[in-house]
Amino acid sequence: MTPAERARLFAAPLALPCGAELPNRVLKSAMSEILGTRDHGVSPGLVRLYEVWAAGGTGTLVTGNVMVDRRALGEPGNVVLEDDRDAEAFARWAAAGRSAGGHVWVQLNHPGKQSPRFLSKQPVAPSAIPLGAGLERAFAAPRALEDGEVLDIIERFGRAAGLVKAAGFTGLQIHGAHGYLVSQFLSPHHNQRTDRWGGSPEKRRAFVLAVYEAVRGAVGPGFPVSIKLNSADFRQGGFTEEES
């Protein structure tokens, strides 16, 4: 394939299995912008940033992680989406991302125990296992989620997904990588539960599958839903490339 042929391929539209079509094959992956307001809303700076990125011609823009619970933050500048209190600002953000004709997808996330100590004195996780050796000063020891709390988080993902679609975004991504909550549930090191949410590879996958079902139920069959996954835990006792 010649360089010119490769360029034409990148510029060609891409039809997704759900029926949506991307205008080209260039995608901006999620990056944590840390541009939320003091109360974790959408700032004018965030809207302007996506206007600039959209103008560059990228076919699909994926936002930085938007948290589904304001009690669980990964960083101080995270945007939170758990109700419609900031609906107008989210609509402006979506319009900015679509302003040049491309797609804009929201990445939804829950940090689990990967929430800094100055933001969470006792974060939650699948199991009460610290994040890692040498990180005790930065991250407090977590407590294990109760079954009802797991169900609440699943519902939060679904509710946030519905709000994403209502705001005018054209797709979403479930953040299942980088050590956050979905990734923690998938990991045999971080998830040592013995109930329906852990104990075997199939049960460790139950949380993310339930999150997907809640999200898909909220947005319908024709809305793009993606997931970001690690290829492996890259630590002893974690999940492997074969399992992922």
pLDDT tens readout for residues 75-92? 999 999 999 999 999 999
pLDDT of 56 reads 97
Tell me which residue of 176, 173, 31 sits closest to 103, measured CA to CA: 173
Arithmetic mean of pLDDT, 191-209: 98
Question: Mind listing the pLDDT tens digit for each residue in 43-79?
Answer: 999 999 999 999 999 999 999 999 999 999 999 999 9
Task: Indicate if the pLDDT at residue 3 is higher than 90.
Answer: no
pLDDT of 149 reads 99
Return d(Cα 215, Cα 209) in angstroms, integer. Answer: 10
Task: Indicate if the pLDDT at residue 121 is higher than 80.
Answer: yes
Task: Report the share of the chain in percent with pLDDT over 90.
Answer: 89
CB 162 within 8 A of CB 139: no
Question: Mind listing the pLDDT tens digit for each residue in 150-162?
Answer: 999 999 999 999 9
Residue whose pair of structure tokens reads 């109930």 in the numeric block: 195
pLDDT of 224 reads 99
Residue whose pair of structure tokens reads 């075997």 in the numeric block: 200
pLDDT of 242 reads 72
pLDDT of 234 reads 66
**Average per-residue pLDDT in the chain?**
95
Q: Which two tokens stand for residue 7?
A: 């360029």
Beta bridge partners of 144: 125
CA 57 and chain centroid, separation: 23
Residues in Cβ contact with 103 at an 8 Å cutoff, skipping those fewer than 6 apart? 20, 22, 23, 59, 60, 61, 97, 170, 171, 224
pLDDT of 195 reads 98
pLDDT tier for residue 130 given thresholds of 50, 70 and 90? very high
Q: Which residues of 156-193 are buried (b: 16+ CB within 10 A; e: fewer)?
A: bbbbbbbbbbebebbbbbbbbbbbbbbbbbbbbebbbb
pLDDT tier for residue 4 given thresholds of 50, 70 and 90? confident
Domain boundaries, the chain: 23-229
**Secondary structure E strands in the chain:** 14-15, 21-22, 27-28, 60-67, 79-80, 103-109, 124-125, 143-144, 171-176, 225-229
Arithmetic mean of pLDDT, 115-129: 97
pLDDT of 165 reads 99
Task: Indicate if the pLDDT at residue 133 is higher than 90.
Answer: no
Topology (CATH) of 23-229: TIM Barrel (3.20.20)
